[in-house]
Amino acid sequence: MTTDDAAGQLASYRGTIDNLDTALLYILAERFRCTELVGHLKAEQAMPAIDNERERRQLDRLMRIANDVGLSRRFVEGLMTMIVGAVVERHREIAAEK
């Protein structure tokens, strides 16, 4: 492979990565739009911001998927901890506004 071929292949890989990063952000935005609705429903019904049982089941499910697709369980757990933490914080804000 020549340097020009390698540079072209690298550019192609990076273009794919850029597209996937964009898709991830759109998916996260949609997830947060949905959790915003959950937060308003919980606030209206005086439900707690955290559902530990739901979070445990969800993490267990995602850990199985991580194993199936070859992702690090530690990475997935950290990612979900960050995402769920942001959601719970927002749910608490919504409840405080009601």
Torsions phi, psi for 29 (to 5 deg)? -60, -40
Tokens of 90: 């927002």
Neighbours of 33 (CB within 10 A): 9
DSSP one-letter string for 12-49: HHHHHHHHHHHHHHHHHHHHHHHHHHHHHHHHHTT--S
**Contact predicate 43/91, CB 8 Å:** yes
Sign of CA dihedral 8, 13, 14, 15: positive
Q: Taking the complete model, does pTM exceed 0.85, yes or no?
A: yes
Per-residue pLDDT of the chain (98 residues; tens, 9 = 90+): 899 899 999 999 999 999 999 999 999 999 999 999 999 999 999 999 999 999 999 999 999 999 999 999 999 999 999 999 999 999 999 999 98
Query: What pLDDT sits at residue 98?
Result: 80
